[in-house]
Amino acid sequence: MGKMAAAVGSVATLAAEPGEDAFRKLFRFYRQSRPGTADLGAVIDFSAAHTARGTGPGARKVVKSQLSVSSVSDQDAHRAGLQPVSKWQAYGLQGYPGFIFIPNPFLPGYQWHWVKQCLKLYSQKPNVCNLDKHMSQEETQDLWEQSKELLRYKEVNKRRPRSLLEKLRWVTLGYHYNWDSKKYSADHYTPFPSDLAFLSEQVAAACGFQGFRAEAGILNYYRLDSTLGIHVDRSELDHSKPLLSFSFGQSAIFLLGGLKRDEAPTAMFMHSGDIMVMSGFSRLLNHAVPRVLPSPQGESLPCCLETPLPAVLPRDSVVQPCSEEDWQVCTRYLKTARVNMTVRQVLAADQDFPSEPVEENQRDLTLEGFCHLDDDSSQVKQMKLDPDS
């Protein structure tokens, strides 16, 4: 209890920089936090047995969320690599209607498939990634094949060149988000992965959103020094549908704030396998990831990733086998990284993209889905990219 009180006090008394809002103040605090100390005492851990009550600035009372158990059959859940919905735990936060947090509902071993897809399949062409701006299509044609030999090395040191996968920061799927115009368009589209669409549809249905269509995805690839800037996801044309977020690999701190940046956010842990759903009022709230947390045991995988994918899978499963060779590469990558998939429905039923550009008057869109900033130069880059700095 003493450590918790110390953490609350350190957050509350944190000095603000000139012109700094409440959200950025806490973002900066957690970006500079020290794992294993009282700094993280006020962070909610939904996976903890006692479900941390969340004290401190911006923290909210944790409440149980009701799921639509009958909307997803046990068979369909299994096809996506999920436990029966009746076994899921789901939580919300008072003051954040529409926010649902589901601690790791995946069946043992089934996260392997989704990790492998993020690294091996979804990173391939015709999907778009951050490397495309600096490299030709031929050079980025198959990041996995170009990277797997480097990632197999047991010893990682500064002299070893980084693989292309380690330089990957984001990939877009389906309707490809345009980082310059902050929009989606009909002419910038590639088929959305059918397995990820099926997973997303089951999670959305379990949360009460029948008929959800996975039309766009942004995958963020985090290193230990990566952050995700404060932003709001509002470029989708239909905000009545939820935003789904899936996390794999090392844990991170997620900040969920209010409609304005002067509202202090609530901090929570995201562990491997955790799912977040932002809908309704919470769909358009400010949020960010200020910190990726290194494993307390050094370079190691989260316990839930130690269990292998079953050798025999259901005949109708969307999950595919993962070879030992592929998983060795994934393991080397994830020991110092995390991957996050966010899935969105862009258009309402029977809706088309407008023929004329939609005016953008929200200044906070500059950092929407913004990839990652390295600690050694983050403040300089962020001042250039964020008009609210």
- Binding-site positions for Fe cation read 231, 233, 287
Residue listed under structure tokens 């089934």: 110
- Helix 2-12 and helix 22-31: axis angle, to 10°? 130
Q: How many CA atoms lie within 13 A of 190 on its CB side?
A: 14
Between CA 181 and CA 247 the distance in angstroms is 27
* Cα(37)–Cα(3) distance, integer angstroms: 8
**CA proximity to 212, closest of 178, 240, 184:** 240
Q: Which residues are annotated binding-site positions?
A: 231, 233, 287
Asked whether the beta carbons of 207 and 66 are under 8 A apart, the reply is: no
Residues with Cβ within 8 Å of residue 114, at least 6 apart in sequence: 81, 106, 196, 199, 246, 248, 341
- In angstroms, rounded to a whole number, what is the distance separating the alpha carbons of residues 48 and 64? 14
Q: Which of 284, 287, 245 is nearest to 266 (CA)?
A: 287
Q: Facing residues of 44 across strands? A: 268
